[in-house]
């Protein structure tokens, strides 16, 4: 009986590994719609591709911080990414930080040009555990609990808190273990954060590889048969398959969007409940990039 159980477990693990290997290969080899970007940046979108046993539409941009300037931008009023990026004369960008929809203000720590704009709200602390720190020639992604930003604030003028951290120093974070703990602690009745992690949604992420290249990633969602979206664990896998050594989840859902100066909105934001490029919603902050 024990041998049979062990055999079943081993077979399940083998099939799971084979599936993940297949998905990683598909992500790299799937037909791509190449994005029109300046020299030093490369990007593409894969559309309606079978990954993670579902239809996925994923947009990726990779660029060198030596050639491009990364900026965290927060307009005076919540504005669509396309408007904010154009106003900053950017070449491309994605949505960025979490915000409080009741007051249209950022809900996580934010520091711009040396001035602190916001702190992380108590209700965000369960999922916000990292920082995006923008320097002159690099972007640093690191763990940081809410309220402990002082060390980083002394080094960087531009900082955005977000989370959860997906990959840290090459190690994928085990979010499945975290969500199991959530359920156990809640007596089998987990709270909203559990579903934020475990249900498939549109997602936006930022990451870096070993060479210091920066990646902006948008996984579209909420469109059956076109873009199913991913869980936090699945987003972590995608970042790992792309070769990232550090990665952080940004605001997702209806906020997720990617834009380029040449082509406009290249992802499929879901605000209008259609699988097209016209479903942007207004967001609190953006990460935009322009040639130096």
pLDDT above 60 for 4: no
pLDDT at 104: 87
Mean predicted confidence (pLDDT) in 158-186: 88
pLDDT above 80 for 59: yes
pLDDT above 70 for 187: no
Write the CA distances from 261 to 170, 185, 243, 248, 258, integer angstroms: 32, 47, 26, 24, 11
pLDDT at 166: 98
pLDDT above 80 for 2: no
Domain borders along the chain are 1-30, 32-291
More confident residue, 265 or 28: 265
| Interval 99-144: pLDDT, tens | 998 888 999 999 999 999 999 999 999 899 999 999 988 999 999 9
CA count, 13 A, side-chain hemisphere, 135: 12
pLDDT above 70 for 213: yes
228: its two tokens = 């199913």
pLDDT above 70 for 92: yes
Q: Are 71 and 288 in contact (CB under 8 A)?
A: yes
* Average pLDDT score over the chain: 91
pLDDT at 16: 46
pLDDT at 189: 58
pLDDT above 90 for 179: no
Q: Are 74 and 110 in contact (CB under 8 A)?
A: yes
pLDDT at 19: 53
CA 279-230-254 angle, to 5 degrees, is 25
Q: State what percent of residues in the chain have pLDDT above 90.
A: 82
- Whole-model pTM: value is 0.91
Dist. CA 59–CA 34, nearest whole Å: 10
Q: State what percent of residues in the chain have pLDDT above 70.
A: 89
Dist. CA 284–CA 169, nearest whole Å: 29
pLDDT band at 13 (very low <50, low <70, confident <90, very high): very low
pLDDT at 183: 66
| Interval 104-113: pLDDT, tens | 899 999 999 9
Sorted by sequence, the CB contacts under 8 Å of residue 216 that are 6+ apart come out as 60, 61, 92, 93, 94, 204, 205, 206, 258, 287, 289
pLDDT above 60 for 91: yes
Residue 23, burial from CB neighbour count under 10 angstroms (0-12, 13-18, 19+): buried
Cis peptide before 164 (omega within 30 of 0): yes
pLDDT at 101: 85
| Interval 221-243: pLDDT, tens | 999 999 999 999 999 999 999 99
pLDDT above 90 for 9: no
pLDDT at 172: 97
């Amino acid at each position: 009986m024990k041998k049979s159980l062990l055999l079943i477990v081993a077979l399940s693990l083998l099939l799971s590994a084979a599936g993940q290997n297949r998905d990683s290969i598909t992500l790299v080899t799937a037909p791509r719609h190449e994005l029109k970007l300046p020299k030093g940046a490369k990007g593409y979108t894969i559309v309606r591709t079978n990954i993670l046993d579902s239809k996925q539409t994923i947009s990726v941009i990779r660029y060198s911080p030596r050639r491009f300037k990364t900026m965290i931008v927060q307009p005076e009023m919540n504005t669509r990414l396309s408007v904010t990026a154009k106003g900053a004369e950017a070449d491309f960008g994605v949505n960025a930080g979490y915000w409080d929809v009741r007051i249209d203000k950022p809900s996580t720590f934010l520091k711009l040009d040396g001035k602190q704009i916001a702190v992380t709200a108590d209700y965000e602390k369960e999922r916000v555990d990292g920082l995006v720190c923008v320097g002159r020639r690099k972007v640093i992604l690191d763990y940081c609990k809410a309220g402990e930003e002082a060390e980083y604030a002394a080094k960087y003028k531009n900082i955005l808190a977000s989370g959860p951290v997906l990959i840290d120093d090459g190690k994928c974070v085990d979010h499945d273990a975290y969500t199991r703990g959530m359920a156990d602690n809640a007596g089998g009745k987990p709270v909203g954060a559990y579903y934020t992690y475990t249900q498939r949604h549109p997602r936006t992420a930022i990451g870096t590889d070993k060479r210091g290249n920066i990646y902006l990633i948008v996984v579209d969602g909420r469109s059956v048969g076109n873009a199913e979206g991913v869980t936090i664990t699945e987003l972590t896998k995608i970042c790992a398959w792309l070769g990232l050594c550090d990665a952080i989840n940004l605001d997702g859902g209806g906020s997720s969007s990617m834009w380029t100066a040449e082509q406009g909105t290249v992802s499929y934001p879901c605000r209008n409940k259609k699988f097209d490029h016209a479903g942007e919603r207004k967001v609190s902050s953006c990460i935009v990039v322009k040639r130096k």
